[in-house]
Amino acid sequence: MPSLKEVRNRIVSVNSTQQITKAMKMVSAAKLRRATDAIVQMRPYSQKLTEMIATVSANAEGAQSNPYTITRDIQKVLVIVVTSDRGLCGAFNANVGKATVNLIAEKYASQNAAGNVEVLALGKKGAEYLTRRGYKVNEKFVHIFSKLSFTSVRQAAEYAMDGFVAEKFDVVEVIFNEFKNVATQILRAEQMLPLVDKQDSNVKASTVDYIFEPSEEEIISELIPKALKLQVYRAVLESNASEHGARMTAMDKATENAGELLKDLKLVYNRSRQAAITKEILEIVGGAEALASA
């Protein structure tokens, strides 16, 4: 049985850890509210823009000749991986890392063997995870969450778009956690480019008869780049909200576990204390009997 001092030290240590996890849970809850507000406000705009592109490109010849819809033999691949900068959020980052490894192994194994798969890491944890496993990681935008804004995300999207147009990449994939609720994040792997192969059964073209000015082709050439940038921005916002939800859940569970551990430690402490008291009483009684019989 451990000594009273050892048990007391462990109780103090666990109690301090519990206070930290409680504080982290409260901080994540506050950040989660702001993050969910941002993603909820952005989703209708994203959905409407996607619907407009589906409507305009349904019968427009310009949609087929747009540089972002050109399909080529897949030789060079870019995978945009969205994770967080910090840990302590359960399996949030590990799930994205594993999904990236599986995606490359299943769809782009030959390209990866030839060294033609590049990973664009948005978030330090994803960069660290994939670098340790030998993947070619581009860390140009790894600190994007330090000052999250549409401007910084747009630059990352433009890197992928410009690379696709210049034939530096033949396909671009985005992997991220989609926010559903505090306890649930849905892992998503979406093809960003080319647009021809991207099918979304949830988005249907509108039946409204639009009047186009100046022309459908020019409208498409303006809308598609905006939609692509918005797709990456949505993935980053979804991941940001998911991160805080995952951390809040993880810290809540850690706080509960610390409470259970404290109960067990206090029980051990009381037993050790009782055993020490009993031992002292027995020593006193034994000493008294020895004196009486002397």
Sequence-distant (6+) residues with CB within 8 A of 230 are 45, 46, 49
The single-letter DSSP state of residue 69 is: S
Sequence-distant (6+) residues with CB within 8 A of 112 are 77, 104, 105, 135
3-state secondary structure of 145: helix
**No. of helices (H) and no. of strands (E), the chain:** 7, 5
Q: Which of 89, 172, 223, 265 is flagged as catalytic? A: 89
The Cα–Cα gap between 244 and 105 comes to 29
The Cα–Cα gap between 240 and 38 comes to 10
Sequence-distant (6+) residues with CB within 8 A of 191 are 171, 172, 173, 174, 197, 198
Q: Say how far residue 208 (Cα) sits from the centre of its chain.
A: 37
- Reply yes or no on whether 89 is catalytic: yes
Spatial contact of 93 and 185, defined as CB atoms under 8 Å apart? no
Spatial contact of 218 and 156, defined as CB atoms under 8 Å apart? no
Q: What is the DSSP string of 186-231?
A: EEEEEEEE-GGG---TT-------PPPSS-HHHHHHHHHHHHHHHH
Which positions are annotated as active-site residues? Answer: 89
